[in-house]
Structure 1
Amino acid sequence: MAFNPIPIRLKQARQLVGISQKELGIRIGMDESSASGRMNHYEKGRHTPDVETLRKLAAELNVPLNYFLCEDDLSAELACLIAQLDDEKKRALIADLKKPTS
């Protein structure tokens, strides 16, 4: 079975914001009676949210969508930092990263 980083990233981002599973579910439009259970299934890896649900979660948790797919903590942190840059700074970063090392 392949590694699924979504449950780990989802729980980390939710805890960083400091809200419950139920609260997060309600904030993205889930029914109050099922929000906690559905979010718990996502965080435990029993179910995987579809892309549209992941988009809503990312927006609510203030992380980029690709954050949920990062397999390691450094990549996840980079994804969040890069998402905060404006286009000019992103282009500069790309140019800098493409420079040959000597």
Structure 2
Amino acid sequence: MKKASSSRTISPIGPRIRAARIAKDFSQEKLGVLIGLEEGSAGTRISRYENSIHEPAVGTSIALAKALNVPLAYLYCESDVLAALIVNLAKLSLAELQKIQKKL
């Protein structure tokens, strides 16, 4: 994970929200409204999440994941490769996942 200038650790959730939002072709305001934020502040709130100014509470993260159609784990994953795998694995059936798990 990256470090901010104040030496605090920056969560991967901001860039993950931005990537998933852009992939869905949602504006920040649209995403905010989809998760129940007030229209007047929705875009600003999502911008603050994406820029790691604020980190959403877990309940908000769950709503974001649902609206963006990605697993919650994707939003918190530090590795880009693992994050992409999580998205792809989530599309598989339980039987397919069990086969992969056995191989691992």
TM-score (structure 2 length as normaliser): 0.90
Question: 2:36 is matched by which residue type in structure 1?
Answer: G
2:52 corresponds to: 45
* Identical counterparts, % of pairs: 38
Cα shift readout 1:2-47 (whole Å, capped 9, x = no counterpart): 2310011000000000111000000111000110111111011011
Provide the rounded CA distance (Å) in 2 between the counterparts of 1:37 and 1:3: 19
Indicate whether 1:22 and 2:29 are aligned: yes
Name the structure 2 match of 1:83.
90
Aligned residues: 97
Q: Check the 8 A contact 2:10/2:52 in 1, yes or no.
A: no
Give the distance between the partners of 1:3 and 1:92, measured in 2 at CA: 35
Q: How much does 1:72 deviate?
A: 1.9
Matches within 5 A, 1:3-22: 3-22=10-29
Residue 63 of structure 1 corresponds to which residue in structure 2?
70
| SS state at 1:46 partner | coil
Paired residue type of 1:20: S
- Give yes or no for contact 2:17–2:75 (8 Å, CA) kept in 1: yes
Q: Please give the root-mean-square deviation of Cα atoms over the aligned residues, in Å.
A: 0.8
Contact 2:21 / 2:68 at 8 angstroms: preserved in 1? Answer: yes
Instruction: State the 4+ residue runs in structure 1 displaced beyond 6 angstroms.
Output: none
Question: Does 1:74 find its partner at 2:74?
Answer: no
- Distance of 1:47 and 1:20 partners within structure 2: 18
